[in-house]
Structure formats: structure tokens, C-alpha cells
Amino acid sequence: MARYTRTPSSLGPQPTIEEKDNQPRYLTVKYPIIPRSQNDIYVFSRSSDRYDTLALAYYSDSSLWWIISTANPNFRSDSLIPPIGSQLRIPSILNVNQIISNYESLNS
């Protein structure tokens, strides 16, 4: 699944007037607050780790990278790579459906 499949997008304001307005634009996305759980997993990142590969390993779906990224707000949100050697919180797979539901209600 592509990384931005679930990200809402639209065409420019007047796509028939200018060709550049015919390109899709991603809309602002709101991410839910992800509360801590006793079932969360904590790992130390390695040089080969990225949020999407961690999501694939823990959730079997790389498009859920944003869950891990959002759960770790103390790291850069504009990077797919967490700082090497940093402790990351991986929200429990038991909570993923609720997190996705919260995401969808914020962005509907």
C-alpha cells in the first residue's frame, strides 16, 4: 500500500485555468493523541529503522507509520527516520483499530 493512500487530497482551486492546478494537493491531516497503554512496546532504534518498516514489523502494514511517529512527539515529525539509539514507543496492536477510528473521525 502506498504511504499516502489514506491522506486526503484535492485538485487546485481552478484546475481548468492553469495546468499546475490540475495536480493533486494533500490536505492538512490531523493526528489523534495516542494515550499510553500497559501493552505498548518500547524499542531502541537502530540505523536500519524507519517508521514505515517498524509499522510493517509490528502491525503488518507500513502505511500505519504515522501511529509510531505520532506516539513519539519528541522526535522530528518531518522525518521518516527516528534518531539512532533513541527509545521509541510502539503503541500496542490491540489499540490500533481505536487509533485509526480516532484518526478517521478527526479527518472526516
The amino acid sitting at 35 is P
Q: Which residues contact 66 (CB under 8 A, 6 or more apart)?
A: 31, 51, 103
In a domain, 17, yes or no: yes
Tell me the pLDDT of the chain averaged across its residues: 85
Residue appearing with cell numbers 490500533: 96
The amino acid sitting at 77 is S
**Residue 43 to residue 29: CA distance in whole angstroms:** 27
Q: What is the pLDDT of residues 6-57, one digit of tens each?
A: 665 665 555 555 555 666 666 678 899 999 999 999 999 999 999 999 999 9
In a domain, 52, yes or no: yes
Number of domains in the chain: 1
Q: What is the DSSP string of 61-75?
A: -GGGHHHHHHH-TTS
In a domain, 83, yes or no: yes
Provide, for the chain, the percentages of residues in helix, strand and coil under a 3-state DSSP scheme, each rounded to the nearest 5: 35, 10, 55
In a domain, 1, yes or no: no
In a domain, 2, yes or no: no
